Structure 1
Amino acid sequence: MFKTLKNAWGIPDLRKKILFTLFIIMVFRFGAVIPVPFLNVTALKGLMNTVDKTGSALSYLDMLSGGAFANGTLFAMSVTPYINSSIIMQLLTVAIPALERLSKEGEEGRKKIATYTRYVTVLLGLIQGTAYFFYLRNSSYQGTPITKYTKGWEEVFAAFVIIMVFTAGTALMMWLGEQINQHGIGNGISILLFSGIVARMPHTINLLGQYLQAANQDATSYGKYYFFVPLFVVLFLVVIWVIVFMNDAERRIPVQYAKRMVGRKMYGGQSSHIPIKVGMSGVMPIIFASSILSIPSTIQLFLGKRVLTGFWKSFFDAFSTTGLLYSLVYFLLIIMFAYFYVAIQYNPIEMANNLRQNNGTIPGIRPGKPTSDYISRILSKITLIGALFLAVIALLPIGFGAFTGMHNMSIGGTSILILVGVALETVKQMESQMMMRHYKGFLD
C-alpha cells in the first residue's frame, strides 16, 4: 500500500488529486470543530462525556462524525444522512418499477437517481438535526442548560438557526464528498467517513491510557486493565488481519467455453471462472442494521431527559447498545440484510442465461435451470459465511465491553471494517489509475 502511494505521488496528475483530497479533508476537519451558535459548548462536552461512557447509539454517531457530534459543530450530522439516503434509494430502486427503469437508462438515469438521493439526504439531515436539537434542548449538565435560550421568541429563533446549520452541514459534507469524486482520488463519502473515524483514534488511545492509569492508582480494583488493555490492542490487530484476509477471499465457479467457428477462425475452448467474493456485500448489512436499530435511539432523542417508566423504559433499555435483545436483533438483521443485498445484486437466472448465450457451461452441470440452481446454492453458502463474519465483527466490541466493562471504546469492529475497506478500495483505485496512464513496472 505504501509503495502504491509513493508511486502515485510521483505522477503529476495523481499528485494533484491526492493534494486536492487532503485539502477537502482539512476543510472537513475545520468544519468538525466550528461550534453551532446558541449552544453552551462547555456544558455540551460534559454531557457527551457522560453519554460516551454508556456506549449508546450516540457514541456510534459521534465515532462516525469524528467527534463533531459530541461537540455540536457544523458537521455534527456527518455522512449518516447521505448513507441512509443511499440505502433508501437502493431499496426503492428494487421496489418501484419507475426507478428500476430509470437505473437502467445509463448515465442520465443514474444522474437523476443521484439528484433524488441528494434531496432525500437534505430531508434526513433536517430530521436528524431536529431530533438532535430536541435532545439538547431537553438536556442539561449539572443544572446548566445546553441551549442558551429556553423561552420565548429567542428560543424559536435559536432553534431555527441550530437546525438549519445542522442541515446545511449535511448538504456541505455531501458536496465535499462529490468534489473528491470529481477532482480527487474518488470514494468521496467513504474518504470523509474514513477521516472521521481516524480522527477518533487519539481519543481511543487516551482512554486506554486512562484505564492503565486507573490500574496504577488502584491495582486491587482496576488491576484487570493490565490484561484488558493489551488484549484490546491484540484484538484490534487480529481483526484488521482477518478483515484483509476476508476481503480477498472468494469462491471461484469453474466455467468451460465451447469451441465455435466464426468464418475461418475458431473462438472459445478456454477455461475460466466466475469469482464470487465472500464479503460481497461489504459493510452495507451492518449499516442497514445499525440504521434500523438507531430508530429507538432517535425517538429517545426527541424525548430528551424525560423520566420513563413501565413499558417504554423496558423498551428503550432493551434496545440500548449494551442490551442482550439489541445484540440478538443486530445479529439477525445483519444476516437478513446480507442475503437481501446479495439478492438485489446477483441474479442467478440472468447469470445462467449469460453463460448459455456465450456457450459457457459449468463442468458437470447442465445449462439452464440446473445452472441457475447451482449458482443459487453457491451464493447462499457464501453469503452465510460472509454474513456470519460481519455479525462477529460487529458484535465483537459489544461482547468485549460486556466482558471487560470497557463500553466506551471509540474504535469498534464496524469502524475497523470501514477503515480497512476504504483503505483497500482507495489503493485499488489508485493502482487502476496508474495502469490507465501506462506506467509500467509501478505495480510489480
Structure 2
Amino acid sequence: MLSAFTNCLKIPELRQRIFLTLALLFVARVGAMIPLPGLNPKPLHDFFAAQKGVGGTLVNMYNMFTGGAFLKGAIFGLGIMPYISASIIMQLLGAVVPSLSRLQQEGDIGRQKLSQYTRYMTIAICIVQAVLLVMALTNYPGRLFSGFDVATYGPIVITGHNAFLITSTIFLTAGSVILMWLGEQITQRGIGNGISLLITIGILSGFPAAVSQMVTLFSTPIGSESASISTPQALLMVILLIGVIGAMVAMTQAQRKIPVQYAKRIVGRKVYGGQSSFLPLKVNYSGVMPVIFASAILMFPQQILAYIGAATGINFFIQFASYLSQGSTAYYVLFGTLILGFSYFWVSIMFKPVQIADDLKKNGGYIPGVRPGLPTAKFLDFVMTRLTLAGSIFLTTIALFPDLLYFAYRIPYSVALFFGGTGTLITVGVILDTMRQVETYLIQRHYDGFLKKGRSRSSMRSSDTFDTSELKSLGLLWWTLGIIFSIGIIAWILQNI
C-alpha cells in the first residue's frame, strides 16, 4: 500500500495532477479563513463556542458544508452549495424544457452551453443568498441565530450598513464563483471530482475539533453535569465506528454481476467469441450525489425562509422554516424521500440500458435466459431498479444515523458525525472515487495500485487467488483518514497554543 503512494510520484502526469489538486484545495482553505471586510467574526465564534455539542440546526449543517467559512464570516462563506443548487435546477429543467433536453443530447457542445447556463444561475443564487444573509447579519442577528444577543456578544457588523451590504454581496458572490472555478479546474486538470473534493476538504476541516471534543468527553468524570462516556462505552463506540466505515466501503464497492455469454464466430480459420464474462451493476450506482442534492434542496428553501422571517418578523415564515429544520419529523421524511427520488433520477440520467443492450447485441453478447435487444434492456432496467432501492435505503440510514445517536443517546453532534451522516458518507465516497481514478493511472502503466496489482504482475497470479480489494480499500481509507486527522490535530494544537 505504501508502495502505491510512491508509484504515484513516478508518473509525471499523475504527479502533476495530484500537486495541482492539492494546491487548488489549499487555495480553497485559505479563502475560508479570510473574513469579510467590516465583519467581526469573534461574536459568532464566542456564541457557538458556548453551544458546543448542539446539533440539528441549519447553521451547523451549512457551516459543515462550507468548511467552517460560514461562521467565520469568510469570503467563501456561501461555499459551493449555490453551484450545486443551480446544477440540480438545470437537471430538473432539462427533463421538462424541450430546448434544454435537446442540449443534453447534443454532446460536448450542448453540455458546454448547459454549463454556462448553470454558471449564470449560480451567480443569481449567490446574489440572492448574499443579500439576505448580509441583511440578516446586520439587522436581525438574534433571529437568524437563535439565542444570539448583541448586548452579550457584541455587534457582528462594525462598518456602515449600506457599504457592508454592497461589498459583502460582491465578495460572497465572487467567493462562490471562485470555488466553482476551482472545482471545475480540479475535475478537468486534477484528480477526482472537484466539487465533491471541495465539500470533502471542508468537512474534514472540522474533524480535529470533533476529536478534541471526543477526548474531552472521554475524560469527563462519570456523574458530572456534562455528558461522559465510560471505558466500555468508548470501546463500543470505536467498534461501531469501524463497523459503520466498513459498511460504507462495502456498500460503495458492492455490485451485482450479470453473466454475459458471447456467441462463437468463425472468421477464416479462426474462431472468435465463445467466452463468458459479466456485466457489473453497482448497488449504490448514484454514489453520494443523492445525499448532496437532498441536503442542498433542504438547505436552500429553509435558508430563504429563515432570512425572510428574520427580516419581516412574520411568524409564518419562521414556523415553516422550523418545520424543515434538522430534528423535525418533516425534515427526516423529506430527506429520505429526496434521497430516494434523486437516486432514481441520477440512475435514469447516467444508466442507459438500451444502449448497453445494443452494444451487447452488436458484439455478439447476450445474457443467458434473456433475448437480445429490448428484452435485455428491460431486464437490466428491472435489476437496476431493485438495486437502486437497496442503495437509497442504505444512504438514508447512514445519513440519519448521527441524528439517532444525538437525540436518543445525547452524544454531542460533532462526535456523532463520526458515525455516519452526510459528511462522513460524502467523505468515504469521494475518497474511494478519487482512489479509483488514481488506481486507473497506476494500472495502465503497469504499476501496483491501491486495490490491485499491475498488469505485469497480475499475470503471475493464479486465477483462483482470493480478491482482497475490499479489505485493501478499507485499509487505505483508514490510512488516508489517519493522515488527515494527524495534520488536523497538529494544526488545531498550533492554533490554540
Structure 1 length as normaliser, TM-score?
A: 0.89
CA distance, structure 2, for counterparts of residue 327 and residue 130 of structure 1: 29
Tell me how far 1:366 sits from its aligned partner: 2.6
Q: 1:267 to 1:396 in 2, by over 3 A?
A: same
Amino acid at match of 1:366: R
Paired residue secondary structure (1:321): coil
Amino acid at match of 1:166: L
Tell me how far 1:290 sits from its aligned partner: 1.5
Matches within 5 A, 1:136-215: 136-137=137-138, 138-140=140-142, 141-143=148-150, 144-149=154-159, 154-213=160-219, 215=220
Matches within 5 A, 1:58-97: 58-97=59-98
- Once the two structures are superposed, residues 140-188 of structure 1 have per-residue CA deviations (whole angstroms, 9 ceiling, x without a partner) of 5432332224xxxx31221011111111100111222233234433422
Paired residue secondary structure (2:260): strand
Query: Could you say which residue in structure 2 is the equivalent of 1:128?
Result: 129
CA contact (8 A) 1:4 1:430 kept: no
Matches within 5 A, 1:32-111: 32-49=32-49, 53-111=54-112
Matches within 5 A, 1:253-402: 253-262=258-267, 265-294=270-299, 295-304=301-310, 309=315, 314-402=319-407
Q: Structure 2: any 5+ residue segments left out of the alignment?
A: 143-147, 454-497
Q: 1:406 to 1:441 in 2, by over 3 A?
A: closer
- Once the two structures are superposed, residues 186-209 of structure 1 have per-residue CA deviations (whole angstroms, 9 ceiling, x without a partner) of 422222222111111111112223
CA contact (8 A) 1:82 1:174 kept: yes
Query: Could you say which residue in structure 2 is the equivalent of 1:21?
Result: 21
- Once the two structures are superposed, residues 333-383 of structure 1 have per-residue CA deviations (whole angstroms, 9 ceiling, x without a partner) of 212221222222224344334433433322112334433332222112111
CA contact (8 A) 2:262 2:365 kept: yes
Structure 2 length as normaliser, TM-score?
A: 0.80
Q: 1:185 to 1:356 in 2, by over 3 A?
A: closer
Tell me how far 1:439 sits from its aligned partner: 4.1
Paired residue secondary structure (2:281): strand
Q: 1:92 to 1:203 in 2, by over 3 A?
A: same
The worse-fitting range, judged by mean Cα deviation, of 113-122 and 31-40 is 113-122
CA contact (8 A) 1:65 1:75 kept: yes
Tell me how far 1:329 sits from its aligned partner: 2.1
Matches within 5 A, 1:212-231: 212-213=218-219, 215-216=220-221, 219-222=223-226, 224-226=228-230, 231=236
The worse-fitting range, judged by mean Cα deviation, of 92-101 and 222-231 is 222-231
The worse-fitting range, judged by mean Cα deviation, of 227-236 and 92-101 is 227-236
Q: 1:55 to 1:176 in 2, by over 3 A?
A: same
CA contact (8 A) 1:32 1:76 kept: yes
Tell me how far 1:390 sits from its aligned partner: 0.3
CA contact (8 A) 1:76 1:166 kept: yes
CA distance, structure 1, for counterparts of residue 217 and residue 88 of structure 2: 38
CA contact (8 A) 2:401 2:421 kept: yes
Paired residue secondary structure (2:325): coil
Amino acid at match of 1:274: L
CA contact (8 A) 1:66 1:197 kept: yes
Identity of aligned residues (%): 37
CA distance, structure 2, for counterparts of residue 166 and residue 50 of structure 1: 27
Residue 104 of structure 2 corresponds to residue 116 of structure 1: no
Amino acid at match of 2:369: G
Tell me how far 1:279 sits from its aligned partner: 0.8
The worse-fitting range, judged by mean Cα deviation, of 332-341 and 59-68 is 332-341
CA distance, structure 1, for counterparts of residue 320 and residue 113 of structure 2: 40
The worse-fitting range, judged by mean Cα deviation, of 226-235 and 29-38 is 226-235
Paired residue secondary structure (1:35): coil
CA contact (8 A) 1:61 1:69 kept: yes
CA distance, structure 2, for counterparts of residue 204 and residue 305 of structure 1: 33
Amino acid at match of 1:18: I
Q: 1:60 to 1:51 in 2, by over 3 A?
A: farther
Paired residue secondary structure (2:348): helix
- Once the two structures are superposed, residues 204-261 of structure 1 have per-residue CA deviations (whole angstroms, 9 ceiling, x without a partner) of 1122234335x32x62544653366555444333221111111111011112222334
Q: 1:305 to 1:224 in 2, by over 3 A?
A: farther
Query: Could you say which residue in structure 2 is the equivalent of 1:247?
Result: 252
